[in-house]
Each structure stands twice: as C-alpha cells, then as structure tokens.
Structure 1
Amino acid sequence: MDSPAADLSGKLSREAEAVCRQYLSNGRKHGNYWIVGDVDNTPGRSLYVRLTGPIRGKGAAGKWTDAATGEHGDLLDLIAANLNLSTLRDTLDEARRFLSVPRPEPPTRQPQTPIARGSPEAARRLWAMGQPIAGTLAERYLSARGLTDLRSVSALRFHPNCYYWREDAVAGERPDAWPALLAKVTDNAGTLTGVHRTWFDPQTTGKAPLDPNRKAMGNLLGHAVRIGSPTNILAVGEGLETMLSLRLALAGLPIAAALSGNHLAAFEPPTDLRQLYVAIDNDEPGQTAFDALTERFADRELHLLPLRPMLDDFNSDLRNCGMEEMRSHLRPQLLPVDVPTLPAVETD
C-alpha cells in the first residue's frame, strides 16, 4: 500500500502542468517541460519540470531539477520549497487542498488497557510522553538553581501538562495539569521502575503553588535517579538538585538520587561496587540515612564515605558559595586515589 505522500505525489504528477501554472506562474511550457527561474517562481530558465511520463520512477511526470543549484525532487518537494513549508504534514495538507482531496479519517485508536494510577506501568507511560528538557521550563528552572549543561542527561525529561492529583480530590474530580520535570527512577539493571515529578508555575518558572509540588510514582524502594555509569565509585544522596550539583562540581562523578531520606537508607548499590560516597544533607534525616546505610553494609566489602556540604545541602553550596569554593570544600573529603579521576578537583 502506498504511503499518503506517495499517493499524493502520484496524483500531482497526473496534474503536473496545472501544478506548475499554480505555483510557478512566471514560467512557461516548452515542449514536455515547464521552465522557470527557480522554486520561488522567479522568471528565468534554470528550473525544468517534466510534464509527461509515468506516474513514478525514471522519467516520471512532475520530476524537476534546478540546473543552477542542483536541487531536484517531485512535486511535493516543489510545493514545500515554493511555500516554505517546514513539515510533511503541512505539505500534504497543501497538496490535498490543490487536488481537492479530503484529509483521510484518522485510524481508530485501540483504547489503552486501564492501569493503576501511580503504578510502575503508569510511570513508564508517563515517561514515554516526556520530551527533552532543552529550551523548556524545566531547563530554565534548573538553570536558575545553578544547574546547567543538562540537555544531554537522558534521565531527565519535560512534560508540558502533567496531571496533578490532589490528595483531597473527590471521586470523579478531574486532576489539575501543570508543566513538570520528569526524572527517571531505575534499578541497577537500568530498568525504569518509577518517575519523579516536579511541577512548575509557568508564570514564575519556579515550583508550582501545590502542596506537595513534588511526587514520585512507581516502585522507588532501593532504586534511584541515576546519571552516569558507576565503575569503581558512585555517589548517592537524597534530592535531585543536590546530586546534580555534586556531579557538576565533581566532573564525571556517577550519581544516584534516592529522592528522600528513607529511600536513601534503603538504597541498593550495584553488587560489585566497592566504594560509595554518600551526600549527607545537613539535617537529622540525612545523618540517620547515612547511619542506616553504614549498619546495612557493615558485613559487606563496601566502603562508605560521607560527603558533607557547607550549608544545608550541595545545591545551597553551589548557589550561595560558588563552584570553586564548593570544590575546595569537597577535595579533602575525597580519597586521594579518586582525585585524578575527577578532573574538576585536580590540583595543579
């Protein structure tokens, strides 16, 4: 079966001369060709459109070449170039308008199987609807917190209208929809187990006036938002912005954000990991999580090392103290063997 584009291209080729008279009216017919200056309908003799021939293939009607630029194509290409249409959808719509062909009915969509709200499958569907953060409200929000150069981080996405189900919603009440940063939660094998959402206020680019304005869905216990592939070292902590700040300061450091103190205490590092840095927020839950991790792995060959911020967390350090002071504060907390692997903290 022909694609919609191939079908319309064939229909246009049967009307090649009429197409030329419509879009290249400053040209003229010369034998089996229509001659004009260029695709912009400039008078001249550079562009040749074949008016006769088969519907498709070699020598097909509607094929054209601009001898001056080397451009060539079929009549769909010609219409797109003539009208400066940037998408195939717009080009096909214009071709249908010219041919008086109605747009085909959309295919019947099979209803999705209902799934439990907040389940891992719901998280997977939400993640699939996300888009890269480049140029979005999510990128602007992170940049305002000192977190830049994150466009290539595959664990982050943006959703322009992410549902927010209020805790006190009554049965049948529709959820709100706000822009949101999506963060992918995975297990050690890289399988998506959940999604963390941070909702924004599009008027202020700050967090949305919701309580709470962050929620996670799916299976989080033992898992985390992971950025970078751990080799012999990994750093884990609570908040996403905290761990992104740490990775920015210690270039190349693989990180995992467990998203809460309780989940940090339950974090499951890779089984072959021998060294785990733990970013401890400067509060009681942060210390409690570190103590719980230390107790859990007391009988395992896993070396746990604390990383402590100057202020309440590492994003506060980044925003209030600056990158260089933050690195100077972190350097003595690293094992000497790790310093050469993190170029940002190397000494001269």
Structure 2
Amino acid sequence: MARQDASELEHRLGRQAEAVCRHYLSNGDRQGNYWQVGDARNAAGRSMFVRLRDTPKGPAGKWTDAATGEHGDLLDIIRESLGLIDFADVAQEARTFLSLPHPEPEPASRRGLAPAPSGSPEAARRLIAMTLPITGTIVQTYLRRRGIALLHGTGNLRFHPRCYYKPDDGPTETWPAMIAAVTDLAGKITGAHRTWLAPDGSDKAPIDIPRKAMGDLLGNAVRIGVPGSVMAAGEGIETMLSLRQVLPDMAMAPALSAAHLAAILFPATLRRLYIVRDDDPAGDGARDMLIERANAEGIEAIPLSPAFGDFNEDLRRLGIDALRAGVRVQLAPDDVARFMNLAA
C-alpha cells in the first residue's frame, strides 16, 4: 500500500516539479529544463540537477547529484530537505504541499516574484533561466555560418526562441537570440549578453542594435572552458570561439567590450594570459592596460593579434589553416603542443 501511495504522490509531484523545487530547494535556481542546487538538503551549489519536464531520459522530478552520484525523486527531496525519517511523515508533507495552489511558474509575476529591475543581475539570471542549450538550434546554425563548429565547453551559451527587443522608438519586438551567461570567478551568473538573430540563423537580426548586455559585467566574463594556468581573454564571443577552433583545449573569456576586457579579473591559478585584441584603438588601450595589470600580479601577458579586424574575420576570409599558422607563431613554444590542434 505504501508503494502504491508513493507512486501516486511521485506522479502528482512530478506535474509540479518546478514548484516543488522552488519550495524545498530554495537555494537553487532554474537552468533551462533543470533545477540546479547543491544537494537534496538544499545546500547552495550547482552539482545537483532536478529534471523539470518529462523527457526521453526520464520523468520530471528525477534528480542526480553529480558530486556524490546520489539520485532519487521528489519524495526524497522532501525527506532530505526537511530531515524527515518516516515515510508517513514524508507522505503527509507531500499531500499538504499538493493541497496548496501552485500556478504556472512563468512569467515572474505569476511566481510571486517582484519584478526584477531592468538590466539588473537578477533580470539577467531570470532571462537565462528561460533559455535552452544551443545544440540543434539556430544559434548553432549562426555560429557554423561564421566558421565556428567546435562548441565543446560552451555551456554558458544558450538559446532563447523569443527574446524581447525594445527599439528606441516603436513597440517591443521578439526575436530568437543567443544568450551568453556572464559569470564571476566563482561561476555565479552576474549578467547576460544577447545577440538577436534572424529566424533562420543566417545572420544577426535586422535591427538597429543586435547586441546588448545587461547586469554586472565589470571584472566578469562569458567563460568558455575551465581555466588553469593558461587562458585567453578578448572582447567578442565569436572572436574567442574562432580562436578556440585552433586552440580547442585553452579556456577563453570573452569580456564583451574593450573597457570590460581591461578590467577582467584573473583566476588564482593563472600564470600566462593571452590577450586577444581587436584591431582598433580601443583594443590597443585594453591590451596595454591588461598587460600592466597582469604583470603587476606576476602573470605573463602575451598579445595575440589578428591579420584583419578580429579572429573571426581571419577565420572567414583566410580559412582555418591560415588562422592556425598565424596564431601558432604568436604562442609560447610550450603552449603549441599543449593547446594547438595540429592534427586538424
């Protein structure tokens, strides 16, 4: 009887998986179709994933803790988060929860959340929570048309099918968009960058300002890969992804503008920084400032310069072999074998 009762409760809870997570795992947040938190006891962190929708991989409510290998369902979350022991108490808590009204979680006003200030870090986090992975989307199409095919380690790049765009005059529009999560050194989301796209992914959307950032950007970046003793930092997302086509194992950090590049914060493990400059006066200024800051902290700083305006232009106009050759002669010798994709 207990097993039948548990199965029915589990099924009913699964239909409200996000509401369960918001109630019992309040230290987490939504990331696409998953709720991400530290563990089933509601610790802060990002190692546990709760599925919020039924998928071919399993039903809503199933969870896995990547740090410990633990897994379970929403009844387990109720038990662990409240410290309950007896199943009768868990079942009673579940029934109490299910008797409460739980409307659909979107939009924010329906979740009982105060509107986030426009352009704030919280607004950025809520935007990213509504996005999807880029695999199989027009974001992938857009990047491939720019010569960018290697996309490993790009979990901070996301897809939004209908992202709001407010022109200076006229009504608000919606366009598909590539959304990039801006994070601090600890991995906390502090901002977001939007690149609105044409519906077929062939190019950016035909609007006045197809790129905009929001949130707290100073010192932070869109992080691609995991930095160790060596990483590269630059301005644009496509620029850094283009470089990663020939340096697939090097961590990249697009800072989104020359001013923010000059102020980027350094990971504690960093010993060598490649500074990817755009070929313009602002890029020169960011390079010089970053070299000065890096040297002051005992970090070797090496500029990487494109043949044209930026490395994506190099990739598209010259091809990957020429890009590889142009980058190779600018690397420290021990980084050629360590990071460069010589076999491609």
Structure 1's 327 and 110: CA in aligned 2 closer, same or farther, altered over 3 A?
closer
Structure 1's 117 and 270: CA in aligned 2 closer, same or farther, altered over 3 A?
same
Q: Measure, in 2, the Cα distance between the counterparts of 1:107 and 1:212.
A: 38
1:175 aligns with 2:176: no
Q: Measure, in 1, the Cα distance between the counterparts of 2:213 and 2:237.
A: 12
Alignment of structure 1 residues 3-14 onto 2, 5 Å: 3=9
Q: Measure, in 1, the Cα distance between the counterparts of 2:275 and 2:167.
A: 33
Structure 1's 133 and 346: CA in aligned 2 closer, same or farther, altered over 3 A?
closer
Counterpart contact for 2:183–2:223, Cα < 8 Å: yes
1:342 is matched with which residue: 326, 339, 342?
A: 339
Structure 1's 294 and 153: CA in aligned 2 closer, same or farther, altered over 3 A?
closer
Give the match's secondary structure for 1:150: coil
Paired residue for 2:64? none
2:270 is matched with which residue: 256, 273, 281?
A: 273
Equivalent AA in structure 2 for residue 244 of structure 1: L
Give the match's secondary structure for 1:184: strand
Counterpart contact for 1:250–1:345, Cα < 8 Å: no
Counterpart contact for 1:234–1:276, Cα < 8 Å: yes
Give the match's secondary structure for 1:225: coil
Which digits, 9 at most, give the CA deviation of each residue in 1:201-227, with x for residues without a partner? 215631112221100111000111011
Q: CA RMSD in A?
A: 2.8
Dislocated runs of 4+, deviation >4 Å: 3-6
Q: Measure, in 1, the Cα distance between the counterparts of 2:270 and 2:299.
A: 7
Which digits, 9 at most, give the CA deviation of each residue in 1:48-71, with x for residues without a partner? xxxxxxxxxxxxxxxxxxxxxxxx
Counterpart contact for 2:139–2:201, Cα < 8 Å: no
Alignment of structure 1 residues 223-238 onto 2, 5 Å: 223-238=220-235
Structure 1's 252 and 121: CA in aligned 2 closer, same or farther, altered over 3 A?
same
1:264 aligns with 2:261: yes
Counterpart contact for 1:162–1:177, Cα < 8 Å: yes
Give the match's secondary structure for 2:139: helix
Alignment of structure 1 residues 35-54 onto 2, 5 Å: none
Aligned-pair distance for 1:332? 1.2
Aligned-pair distance for 1:319? 0.9
Equivalent AA in structure 1 for residue 204 of structure 2: K
Paired residue for 1:313? 310
Q: Measure, in 1, the Cα distance between the counterparts of 2:249 and 2:152.
A: 15
Q: Measure, in 1, the Cα distance between the counterparts of 2:319 and 2:215.
A: 35
Aligned-pair distance for 1:248? 1.1
Equivalent AA in structure 2 for residue 198 of structure 1: T
1:245 aligns with 2:246: no
Structure 1's 136 and 242: CA in aligned 2 closer, same or farther, altered over 3 A?
same
Q: Which moved more, 1:320-329 or 1:143-152?
A: 143-152
Alignment of structure 1 residues 132-171 onto 2, 5 Å: 132-150=133-151, 153-168=154-169
Q: Measure, in 1, the Cα distance between the counterparts of 2:295 and 2:253.
A: 21
Paired residue for 1:120? 121
Query: How many residues are matched?
Result: 252
Aligned-pair distance for 1:168? 4.0
Counterpart contact for 2:295–2:301, Cα < 8 Å: no
Structure 1's 151 and 305: CA in aligned 2 closer, same or farther, altered over 3 A?
closer
Aligned-pair distance for 1:271? 3.1
Structure 1's 274 and 203: CA in aligned 2 closer, same or farther, altered over 3 A?
closer
Q: What TM-score does the superposition give when structure 1 sets the normalisation length?
A: 0.66
Counterpart contact for 1:251–1:343, Cα < 8 Å: yes
Counterpart contact for 1:185–1:192, Cα < 8 Å: yes
Structure 1's 328 and 175: CA in aligned 2 closer, same or farther, altered over 3 A?
same
Which runs of no fewer than 5 residues in structure 1 stay unpaired?
7-86, 90-105
Counterpart contact for 2:146–2:316, Cα < 8 Å: yes
Which runs of no fewer than 5 residues in structure 2 stay unpaired?
13-57, 61-100, 104-109
Structure 1's 107 and 144: CA in aligned 2 closer, same or farther, altered over 3 A?
same
Which digits, 9 at most, give the CA deviation of each residue in 1:16-44, with x for residues without a partner? xxxxxxxxxxxxxxxxxxxxxxxxxxxxx
Counterpart contact for 1:339–1:346, Cα < 8 Å: no
Paired residue for 2:215? 218
Paired residue for 1:294? 291
Q: Which moved more, 1:106-115 or 1:267-276?
A: 106-115
Aligned-pair distance for 1:152? 5.6
Q: Measure, in 2, the Cα distance between the counterparts of 1:177 and 1:153.
A: 24
Larger radius of gyration: 1
Aligned-pair distance for 1:272? 3.3
Structure 1's 300 and 88: CA in aligned 2 closer, same or farther, altered over 3 A?
closer
Percentage identity across paired residues of the two chains: 47
Aligned-pair distance for 1:134? 1.4
Aligned-pair distance for 1:285? 1.2
